[in-house]
Amino acid sequence: MNLTSEQRAELIRLAQAARQRAYAPYSNYWVGAALLTASGKYYQGANIENAAYPTCICAERVAIFQAVFEGESDFAAIAVVTANGGTPCGSCRQVMAEFGLQTVVLIADAEGRLVQETTVKELLPGSFGPSDLKT
């Protein structure tokens, strides 16, 4: 999907707003995400930490899981906003790959400056997916 400049701006704006809702008392690394589905709906997510670190969840997965819960599984783009324009972790990359390697990934800093525009496939080359389970 070719994103318009308005869609890019809206994704980053929504991810910035979502970042304000993060619960990150341990790392102090607040992350917001906004997902655009092929049907045109937007979903937001923020990272949520826990004192037992393995039970934390990233912003990207919150947005994706919410969309999937509401019946969406065809994604056009996702924006991720962090203080320094950090990229999605490996777990998030794998979850994004499940729903489409061509999904556009916008990575922006806290001020909303686009740091990188890429795809899930570029973030996770050689990904493991549903076709790998077929025998």
DSSP per-residue codes, the chain:
-PPPHHHHHHHHHHHHHHHTT-B-TTT----EEEEEETTS-EEEEE-B--SSGGG-B-HHHHHHHHHHHTT---EEEEEEE-SS-PPPPHHHHHHHHHT-TT-EEEEE-TT--EEEEEEHHHHSTT---GGGG--
- Catalytic residue ranges: 60
